[in-house]
Amino acid sequence: MKLSVRDLDQHYGSAQALRRVSFEIAPGECLAVLGRNGAGKSTLLKCLAGVLPVTRGAIAFDGVDMARAASHRRSRAGLAYVPQGREIFAELTVKENLVAAARPHGAATDEAFEEVYGLFPVLREMAGRRGGALSGGQQQQLALARALVTKPQLLVLDEPTEGVQPSIVQLIETVLTGLKGRLSILLVEQYLDFATAVADRFVVLSRGRLVDQGERAEMSRERLSKFMSV
């Protein structure tokens, strides 16, 4: 999926959170959004997913403007959003979580479940365990699997490595790297090593504005780090 964002503004009451943000993601590309805490990164993802309304601007999926579309319409158009904090169903089992995510998309098939179990083998072992009984790293794998089982064209991730152990960070890096080319990925991430390993391009937000962008080859670690430090 090609994502185009043009002149996006968003307000929290009288406070402006995003200011004329514009960028594109090509089909099969991974774009990382970087910036300090409070820069507007999570707000941007929520606007793209339809969780927050935009004040003005355009959000287009393959040329179709979705800026005013409900979140379920965006989901059915191919966007899958994994928010910060995971938001799995704690009282449902792993398998029930996957079924609940897949069914509205007509994707609740053994083949679909086997595909995500192949990416995250621990979920097969834990299929009958409640989501709330999983470790933080296992919950993050479940959140990603819930998104992927819908067969998305655009995967939107808000800090997927937050609060998980290094071995799971490496697993998520491997999974996302393998998915590139098959779907588009938009990633907010504070862990710079992870972001530079996965992303093809970067955009940088500061106080709601896009202040820098570029290909991985032209964005040095020093150039990126100056926007990440407090």
The pLDDT value recorded for residue 37 is 92
Q: Is it the case that residue 230 has pLDDT exceeding 70?
A: no
Query: Which CATH code of 1.20.120.450, 3.30.930.10, 3.40.50.300, 3.10.20.600 fits the domain covering 1-78+155-163+181-230?
Result: 3.40.50.300
Higher-confidence residue of 59 and 104: namely 59
Residue 3 is classified by DSSP as: E
Dump pLDDT digits (tens) for 157-190.
999 999 999 999 999 999 999 999 999 999 999 9
The pLDDT value recorded for residue 227 is 79
Q: Which class for 167: exposed (0-12), middle (13-18), buried (19 or more C-beta within 10 A)?
A: exposed
Dump pLDDT digits (tens) for 107-155.
888 899 999 999 999 999 999 999 999 999 999 999 999 999 999 999 9
Q: Is it the case that residue 229 has pLDDT exceeding 70?
A: no
| Confidence tier at 99 by pLDDT (50, 70, 90) | very high
The pLDDT value recorded for residue 87 is 86
The pLDDT value recorded for residue 107 is 85
Q: Is it the case that residue 10 has pLDDT exceeding 90?
A: yes
Residue 139 is classified by DSSP as: H
What is the spatial distance between Cα 183 and Cα 175, in angstroms, rounded to a whole number?
Answer: 12
Average pLDDT, the chain: 95
